[in-house]
Amino acid sequence: MKKQPIGVFDSGLGGLTILNALRRELPQEDLIYFGDTANVPYGSKSKTAVTKFSLAIARFLQSQGVKLIIVACNTASAQALAELRKQISVPVMGVIEPGAEKAVHTTRNGRVAVLGTEGTVKSRAYPKALLKRRPGLHITQQPCPLFVPLVEENWGQKPAAELIAREYLAPVKQSGADTVILGCTHYPVLKPMLAAILGKKVTLVDSADTLAEAARAFLTEHGLAQTRGKGRVRIFASDDPARFKRMAGCLLAEKIGAVRLKKLTL
């Protein structure tokens, strides 16, 4: 089983930030990434729809013989993780718990803000995970529904993106939070701009590295870690793989081969 790949999925391009972290932390592991570009964004969709898409992707990854599935999507982690763990025989790891863990150890004044999609914010998955670890935290949630399409359309560096970001971040600045969780895997693409708006006293928590460390610990604990060779990456997209490959070149630290089209069977 050590030689089996790790499956990773997201609604689109955002999960590539986690793929980068996994490549750094687990360079010997083979990875299969699935970007559901046909159904992005997940954040504005119902829990039923997100669960249906997530199960279809997880079943596909399971058919590829993966030893672990990483849900590199905050919305899917918030809304579908429990059902995935019920219906999928492969271990499934979400992105929210590692992010909450890191934020709890990062905050100095006990005030944490969460930036997320509408689905993630409505689920209250982050407040639950944060308060379980540290009761009494002051938590502010801010939905940022336009951030995902801005990243997917490569508009993250345009003036419009900063105007939108300043509007979203105004309540966060007023809350006095010294730690802000980037509660969507697309948001790290906007990190420099968000950091400039929030100021040097605010720490941005990107759970990619924390999740990669958690994955390594899980594989090691269960005797599943690959310790030799260099892993390879295979990428699938549910729509327009040529565009996905072009956009992925801006986010991935390494060149990738062909992006294969795989339409979901719902």
The domains located in the chain, with CATH, are: 6-94+209-261 (3.40.50.1860), 96-207 (3.40.50.1860)
pLDDT along the chain (266 residues), means of 10: 93 91 95 96 94 98 98 95 97 95 96 95 96 97 94 89 97 98 92 96 92 94 92 96 87 84 93
Measured from the Cβ of residue 210, the count of other Cβ atoms closer than 10 Å reads 20
Q: Given this model, what pLDDT does residue 126 score?
A: 97
Q: Given this model, what pLDDT does residue 30 score?
A: 97
**Looking at residue 5, what DSSP letter applies?**
P
Q: Which residue has the tokens 């030893």?
A: 67
What is the length of the chain?
266
Taking alpha carbons only, the member of 123, 155, 159 closest to residue 141 is 123
Q: Given this model, what pLDDT does residue 222 score?
A: 95
Q: Given this model, what pLDDT does residue 241 score?
A: 95
Per DSSP, which regions of the chain are E strands?
6-10, 31-35, 68-71, 92-93, 111-116, 138-143, 179-183, 203-205, 233-237, 259-261
Q: Are 211 and 18 in contact (CB under 8 A)?
A: yes
Catalytic positions, written as ranges: 73, 184
Distinct helix (H) and strand (E) counts, the chain: 11, 10
Q: Given this model, what pLDDT does residue 31 score?
A: 97
Q: Are 26 and 6 in contact (CB under 8 A)?
A: yes
Tell me the CA distances in angstroms from 32 to 58, 165, 208, one per residue in order. 11, 32, 16
Q: Given this model, what pLDDT does residue 247 score?
A: 85
**pTM of the full structure:** 0.90
Q: Given this model, what pLDDT does residue 254 score?
A: 80
> What is d(CA 42, CA 60) in angstroms, rounded to the nearest whole number?
18
Q: Give residues with Cβ within 8 angstroms of 14, minimum separation 6.
A: 72, 73, 148, 151, 184, 185, 186, 187, 188, 189
224: phi then psi, degrees, rounded to nearest 5: -110, 0
Q: Given this model, what pLDDT does residue 210 score?
A: 87
Q: How far apart are the first and last CA of the chain?
A: 28
Q: Given this model, what pLDDT does residue 153 score?
A: 86
